[in-house]
């Protein structure tokens, strides 16, 4: 838990520092001051509201026991096994099979699943997936992932900051603006990859322990991977900074899919889960 708090603190500090550096490049001392204030304000806003923003982004609707009884019951049972408060449960009307968890702590957590994943998976596999998402909640890395998704989108739009400041009249800031346009989205992607790749293995392991059934999650991952490749998710394509929150990368990436994926290879994840099963968990 301390490690994830440290990661989140360092991430938020890095965001403020990056905003300040870009502000200095594009607007001198005034630009740096404005950018630092903006970065600090965005951090505070993201801490309290990033989960709500992501859920709205995906047009998620809250589902009670009467709306999705099996799904809601699975989450309730697994939350009890994990010793967690019951999270809010959401459905996303998307054909692509996928799921994610969000929130700033276990007391304010939410899990969301697409209608596509509910149609694709059997009860045992869905149970494995939701145990994975609750492992993210239990590991307290949902705050880091949700804030990184929100702030990565802000980093990617930093190039627009240059329009507010003319820079030094004797030294046009076109080069700085070009650098921001190229490097800011890259920095955002690198932040997401650094956070996401390691935490997915941890959530797979934790989810298998919560459910007591690593083979179910392995089977679910294989199915989701196969179907997700041929089923685009428009919201994720429009907001790629949220891809690292999903159980499987929702983005279409062509030949560069593996290079820029925010997730470990599914084959590696499945192999680790099957090894857990062979050891008897």
Mean pLDDT of 111-133: 97
Sheet holding 99-103, edge to edge: 61-62, 88-92, 109-114, 99-103
| pLDDT for residue 2 | 47
Of 94, 136, 101, nearest to 117 by C-alpha is 94
Mean pLDDT of 167-193: 58
Of 87, 69, 57, nearest to 152 by C-alpha is 57
Question: Does residue 89 sit in helix, strand or coil?
Answer: strand
pLDDT, the chain, mean: 81
pLDDT digits (tens, 9 = 90+) for 218-257: 999 999 999 988 899 999 888 887 888 899 999 876 544 4
**133, 200, 215, 225: the active-site residue:** 133
pLDDT digits (tens, 9 = 90+) for 236-247: 888 887 888 899
How far, rounded to the nearest angstrom, does the alpha carbon of residue 30 sit from its chain's CA centroid?
Answer: 33
How far, rounded to the nearest angstrom, does the alpha carbon of residue 68 sit from its chain's CA centroid?
Answer: 24
Of 134, 103, 156, nearest to 205 by C-alpha is 134
- Can you read off the two tokens belonging to residue 205? 């392991």
5-14, 108-117, 158-167, 261-270: least confident range: 158-167
Region of residue 109 (phi > 0: left; psi between -120 and 50: alpha; otherwise: beta): beta
77 carries an active-site annotation: no
Question: Does residue 198 sit in helix, strand or coil?
Answer: helix
| pLDDT for residue 257 | 43
Q: Degrees (nearest 5) of the Cα angle 205, 207, 212?
A: 95
* 114 DSSP assignment: E
How far is 245 from 102, CA to CA, in rounded Å?
8
By DSSP bridging, strand 99-103 and strand 109-114 are antiparallel
How far is 118 from 220, CA to CA, in rounded Å?
11
């Amino acid at each position: 838990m301390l490690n994830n708090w440290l990661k989140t603190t360092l991430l938020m500090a890095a965001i403020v520092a990056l905003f300040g550096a870009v502000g200095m490049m594009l607007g001198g001392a005034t630009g740096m001051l404005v950018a630092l204030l903006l970065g600090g304000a965005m951090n505070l806003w993201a801490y309290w509201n990033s989960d709500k923003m992501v859920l709205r982004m995906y047009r998620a609707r809250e589902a009670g026991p009467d709306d999705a009884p099996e799904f809601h019951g699975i989450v309730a049972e697994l939350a009890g096994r994990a010793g967690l408060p019951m999270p809010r449960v959401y459905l996303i009307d998307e054909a692509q099979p996928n799921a994610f968890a969000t929130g700033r702590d276990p007391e304010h957590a939410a899990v969301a699943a697409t209608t596509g994943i509910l149609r694709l998976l059997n009860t045992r596999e869905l149970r494995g997936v939701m145990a994975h998402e609750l492992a993210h909640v239990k590991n307290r890395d949902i705050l880091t992932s949700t804030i990184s998704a929100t702030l990565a989108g802000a980093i990617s739009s930093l190039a627009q900051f240059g329009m507010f400041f003319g820079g030094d009249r004797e030294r046009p800031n076109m080069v700085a603006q070009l650098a921001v346009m190229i490097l800011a989205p890259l920095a955002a992607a690198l932040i997401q990859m650094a956070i996401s790749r390691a935490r997915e293995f941890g959530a797979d392991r934790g989810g298998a322990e919560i459910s007591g059934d690593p083979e179910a999650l392995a089977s679910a991952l294989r199915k989701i991977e196969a179907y997700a490749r041929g089923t685009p998710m428009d919201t994720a394509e429009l907001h790629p900074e949220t891809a690292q929150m999903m159980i499987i990368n929702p983005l279409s990436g062509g030949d560069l899919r593996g290079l820029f994926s925010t997730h470990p290879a599914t084959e590696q994840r499945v192999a680790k889960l099957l090894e857990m099963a062979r050891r008897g968990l």
